[in-house]
Structure 1
Amino acid sequence: MTIEDEVRSLQKFRMFHNVETAKLKLMAMIADRVVFHPGEVIYAQGDASDAVYIVLDGQFKVSLNTSAGVIDFAEHVRGALLGEAGVLCDQVRMATITAETTVTALRIDREPFLQLLHESQPFNHAVMRELGRQIMDLNNICAQLVQRLPKGTPAADAGRHLAAPATSPVH
């Protein structure tokens, strides 16, 4: 695939509609085209956040390793931006991403991605809009989960760990 083909692919994604063609071309030039086969891990929870992925084609799932086991909590398809939060927050990967079908993506290393954010206001806004959309999706998931909690269950602060439930004294 040529650079121009990749730019045309990127322009089809709503996220990049307002990004300058020259910046999309630069992004396509600095990115590595990678292919993941079904079952292959794109990145694992706890890995260093060294790059961002733009999914050009395919479907993948998101899962978390917890003390209760692995929880698969989302499936996504082409047009997704992966790994940007870890890169922006300088944190390790918070989830594992696994290809469900053959996934073709552009992999942009951390520093070039951050430079693009700095140089292009439309690119910066595109990433912020995508992060905002993800936050809204997570808020909807949280609201659905809270509705399933037993009445009287205390609310949790995401910034702090929950204390162990208090036990009632036996009389």
Structure 2
Amino acid sequence: MDEAAAVAAFAELDIFSSFSDEQLRLLAFVCEEVSLAPGDILYSAGDAADGGYVLVSGALEATHSPVEGSKRFRIEPVALVGELGLMLTRPRGASLRAARTSTLLFVPRGAFLKLLRSHPELAEDVATTIRAELSRYLDSIAQLGGRFSS
């Protein structure tokens, strides 16, 4: 994938919204392109996280449980997946596999954190974006809570 296509994909994602074109190009430079055939596993729940992925084309299926028949969630481009791996060394919480031929960009944690350390304003903007996503997630859980109370 060329630099312009990678930069365009990054620019579509909230977490990179405050990055300058130069910073997005730096990110594109350190990324690795990953190609998956249908059925290929990107990662499994419990795997060590060492970065995040940007789904540029194709589709992924996520499962949060190793139990056969567990609910699958489809992820369409452009999407950031495994984003906690950009910041934390926690194990992956879900398994992802390609639903069809897919292209992703792997963003290594070390390079991402180095960019944030050299540009503190980006770190604050990324933290704000993550807090907003977490808040939306927690709100959706709270709304579901009413369905399960007796």
TM-score (norm 2): 0.80
Q: Deviations over 1:16-74 (max 9, x none)?
A: 332111111111111011112222211111111122111222322221225x6563353
CA contact (8 A) 1:19 1:126 kept: no
Q: Deviations over 1:96-126 (max 9, x none)?
A: 1122232211112221122122223454355
- 2:13 and 2:114 map into 1 onto residues whose CA distance is 21
- Richer in helix (by share): 2
Residues paired across the two proteins, number: 150
CA contact (8 A) 2:31 2:105 kept: yes
- 2:120 and 2:110 map into 1 onto residues whose CA distance is 17
TM-score (norm 1): 0.72
Name the counterpart of 2:47. Answer: 47
Larger Rg: 1
Name the counterpart of 1:109. Answer: 108
More deviation in 77-86 or 28-37? 77-86
CA contact (8 A) 2:85 2:109 kept: no
Q: Percent identity?
A: 25
Name the counterpart of 1:119. Answer: 118
**Structure 1 regions of 5+ residues with no counterpart?**
152-171
Please, what is the CA RMSD of the aligned residues? Answer: 2.6
**Structure 2 regions of 5+ residues with no counterpart?**
none
- Three-state SS of the structure 2 residue aligned to 1:54 is strand
Q: Deviations over 1:122-147 (max 9, x none)?
A: 54355435533542443244234322
Runs of 4+ in 1 over 6 A off after TM superposition: none
Name the counterpart of 1:147. Answer: 146
